[in-house]
Structure 1
Amino acid sequence: MVGKIKSYFADELDQEIGGFEAEFLIEFFARELGPYFYNRGIFDAQQVFNEKIDEAGYIIHELEKPEAY
């Protein structure tokens, strides 16, 4: 990651930064943005889980046998 950040600064911003500065930038982004992306991942996983539970409910319903009265 350090190399990618250094390359980005050099290529896109025409600035040179050292590895130490790049590591601090990584730590800053992880601290500030990490919780957002983590929570988004949890939300997305919950959506997929709920969809699969719904599918399982339909499959189980299809397995039911009609009752004789």
Structure 2
Amino acid sequence: MSLLVKMPREQKEMIIRNVQLFFEEERSETLGNIAAESIVDFMLKELAPHLYNKGVADARNLLMQKMSQIEDECYALEQPVR
């Protein structure tokens, strides 16, 4: 399964500018728009599945914590039986 990342053009352009700024400040290299966009596309392709899976795992853990809390609250509602 390939994870296709879609983002608004304005957001991608901002990331491209940030990549260009990073290369300029950290490496003293000037990147054109096409080169910077290629780097952004490559990084999205490589990182997106890992970040997506991390988000799914975080959501799963949060749901399990909440379900455990709900279960505890349900037990707390039980009335003692003689």
Q: d(CA) in 1 for partners of 2:65 and 2:40?
A: 35
Unaligned runs of 5+ in 1: none
Q: d(CA) in 1 for partners of 2:44 and 2:21?
A: 19
TM-score when scaled to structure 2? Answer: 0.80
Q: Which aligned segments of 4 or more residues in structure 1 are displaced greater than 3 angstroms?
A: none
Task: Give the deviation of 1:42 after TM superposition.
Answer: 0.4
The higher-RCO structure (CA 8 Å, 6+ apart) is 2
Computed over aligned residues only, the root mean square deviation of the Cα atoms, in angstroms, reads: 0.7
Q: d(CA) in 2 for partners of 1:22 and 1:42?
A: 29
Task: State the number of aligned residues.
Answer: 68
Instruction: Answer with 1 or 2: which has the greater Rg.
Output: 1
Task: Give the deviation of 1:66 after TM superposition.
Answer: 1.1
Fraction of identical pairs, as percent: 26
Matched, 1:30 2:50: no
Q: d(CA) in 1 for partners of 2:36 and 2:69?
A: 46
Show the counterpart of 1:51. Answer: 65
Matched, 1:7 2:15: no
Show the counterpart of 2:53. Answer: 39
Unaligned runs of 5+ in 2: 1-14
Q: d(CA) in 1 for partners of 2:58 and 2:19?
A: 28
TM-score when scaled to structure 1? Answer: 0.94
